[in-house]
Chains A and B, each alone.
Chain A
Amino acid sequence: MAKRDIPEINAGSMADIAFLLLLFFLVTTTMDKDQAYVRSIPKKIEIPPEDLPDVQKRNILAIKANSQNQLMVRNVVFSDPDMISDFILRFYQTSEIKNKPEENFPLYSTATLGLCDLRMAEMEAKIEEADKVGATDMAKFFSSALNEWDKKKKAIKLYGKSELREIDKQAHIRIEVQEATAYAIFTQIHNEIEEAVIELRNTKCKELFGEPYTLVKQRYNQDSDAKDKDILDLIEILYPARIIEVTPKN
Chain B
Amino acid sequence: MNTASLPDIVFMLLFFFMVATTSKETDPTVKYSAPEGSRTEDLTPYKQRSEIDFLYLGAPRNPNRASAFKFGYALSLDNVVQATPDGLYSTNAVSRWKRDKFDQKPARMIAPIEAVITCVKADQSAPSGLVFDIRKQLQDIDALTIAYSVKDKGVNKAGQ
Q: What residues on A are CB-neighbors of B139 within 8 Å?
A: 41-44
Interface residue? A30 (CB, 8 A): yes
Identify which of B7, B42, B144 contacts A35 (C-beta below 8 A). B42
Interface size on B, residues (CB 8 A): 60
Interface residue? B122 (CB, 8 A): yes
On whether the beta carbons of B128 and A178 are closer than 8 Å, the reply is yes
Task: Knowing A29-B22, A38-B117 are in contact, say whether A18-B10 is a contact too (CB < 8 A).
Answer: yes
Task: Knowing A33-B22, A182-B128 are in contact, say whether A215-B150 is a contact too (CB < 8 A).
Answer: no
Q: What residues on B are CB-neighbors of A188 within 8 Å?
A: 35, 37
Identify which of A11, A21, A36 contacts B149 (C-beta below 8 A). A36
Write the nearest CB–CB distance from B78 to chain A, whole angstroms: 16
Interface residue? A168 (CB, 8 A): no
List B residues 38-65 near A (Cβ within 8 Å): 38-45, 47, 54, 57
Identify which of A38, A186, A222 contacts B147 (C-beta below 8 A). A38
Write the nearest CB–CB distance from A26 to chain B, whole angstroms: 6
On whether the beta carbons of A183 and B126 are closer than 8 Å, the reply is yes
Task: Knowing A25-B17, A184-B35, A187-B37 are in contact, say whether A36-B129 is a contact too (CB < 8 A).
Answer: no
List B residues 73-108 near A (Cβ within 8 Å): none
On whether the beta carbons of B7 and A14 are closer than 8 Å, the reply is yes
Q: What residues on A are CB-neighbors of B23 within 8 Å?
A: 28-30
Interface residue? A240 (CB, 8 A): no
Interface residue? B68 (CB, 8 A): no
Interface residue? B30 (CB, 8 A): no
Write the nearest CB–CB distance from B4 to chain A, whole angstroms: 7
Task: Knowing A33-B44, A179-B128 are in contact, say whether A43-B144 is a contact too (CB < 8 A).
Answer: yes
Interface residue? B1 (CB, 8 A): no
Task: Knowing A35-B37, A43-B142 are in contact, say whether A183-B43 is a contact too (CB < 8 A).
Answer: no
Q: What residues on A are CB-neighbors of B127 within 8 Å?
A: 179-183
Sampled A-B contacts (26; CB under 8 Å): A18-B11, A21-B14, A22-B13, A25-B18, A29-B17, A29-B23, A30-B21, A31-B20, A33-B42, A34-B54, A35-B40, A35-B42, A36-B147, A36-B150, A37-B41, A38-B145, A39-B146, A42-B144, A179-B127, A183-B125, A183-B128, A184-B125, A212-B159, A214-B158, A214-B159, A218-B42
* Residues in B lying within 8 Å of A, measured CB to CB: 3-4, 6-7, 10-11, 13-14, 17-18, 20-24, 35, 37-45, 47, 54, 57, 71, 117, 119, 122-129, 131-132, 135-136, 138-140, 142-152, 158-160
